[in-house]
Amino acid sequence: MTSQQQTQRLYDDLDITFSAAGPADGRPVLLLHGGGGPFTVAGIAQHLAGNGARVLTPVHPGWDGNPRPDWLTGVDDLALAYLHLLQDLDLKDVLVIGSSMGGWIAAEMAVRDVEQERLSGVVLINSAGVYVEDEPIVDFFSLDPRAAAELSWHDPDRFYVDPTTLPVEQLAARQANMATMRVLAGEPNMHDPKLLRRLGRVRQPALVVWGESDGLFTAAYGAAYASAFGDGRFELVPKAGHLPQLEQPDVTFRLIDEHLDRTA
């Protein structure tokens, strides 16, 4: 499935670059990556576009060399920007899918789409974003690469990449991406203290998919996230960590397909 790169100017100092895949008249899906970048959700885009959805996958400002204006300092800024993107593209009945920080953005979008004007459902995959008492969030920014891999993957030996083996340019890009994520999500650590209590006002159906081996955000954290929504459902994915779409794609894609049908 081929994709087209597009750029939409939202404000005088902010352009959003995104790939668009799938038929132009397909169900619109906004697919939001986490700190690992767009490649972590590329399989979801390919799967959904191949099944007839119109999938838009933005690259967040500050990732992969895309400029980030100085005022864009929080996930709430990204949530509003992507709602404005949907408005400018005149898209409705949109399913928003987000992985990790992308799920946090999706949740913040749902809270702000109070008239259900643009969104008809959300899927959060091992998402950051809320504070759950007795389920502390690991300080990801303090971890060395190997420790991060041990907490992120069910099978870390399969997915761990030693950063010392990377080309200089690729390592610099990774470091720049992490610096941006620290600006957007690092203070307080990976959450909005007010978000959990606001999710009960969200009426769009929410699917929360969770790799059970995630050591960054526990399954209990994910279950609490799901239960906070007005219409939330929690699904645990065995033998998967923080990115179940990479470790257990078949199970993850099936759950997304079911939710896509449910929210049509």
For residue range 181-200, list pLDDT tens digits in order. 999 998 889 999 999 999 99
CATH of the domain at 70: 3.40.50.1820
Q: Which domain holds residue 91?
A: 3-262
pLDDT at residue 91, as a whole number: 98
19: which residues sit within 8 A by CB, 6+ positions away? 3, 4, 5, 6, 38, 45, 56, 57
Hey, which residues does 28 pair with through a beta bridge?
54
pLDDT of residue 28: 98
Give the chain's mean pLDDT.
97
pTM for this predicted structure: 0.97
pLDDT value, residue 1: 61
pLDDT at 3: 86
Contact 63, 88 (CB under 8 A): no
Residue 186's pLDDT is what? 86
- pLDDT score recorded for residue 27: 98
DSSP-H helix ranges across 113-232: 145-152, 156-159, 168-185, 195-198, 219-228
Give the separation between CA 156 and CA 147, rounded to whole angstroms: 10
Domains identified in the chain, total number: 1
Q: Name the strands in the sheet holding 54-59, side by side, starting at the edge strand that comes first in the sequence.
A: 3-11, 14-21, 54-59, 28-32, 94-99, 119-125, 206-211, 232-237
Sequence letter at residue 173: A
Three-state DSSP at 10 gives strand
Which residues in the chain show pLDDT less than 50? none
Paired tokens of 105: 């953005």
pLDDT given at position 111? 98
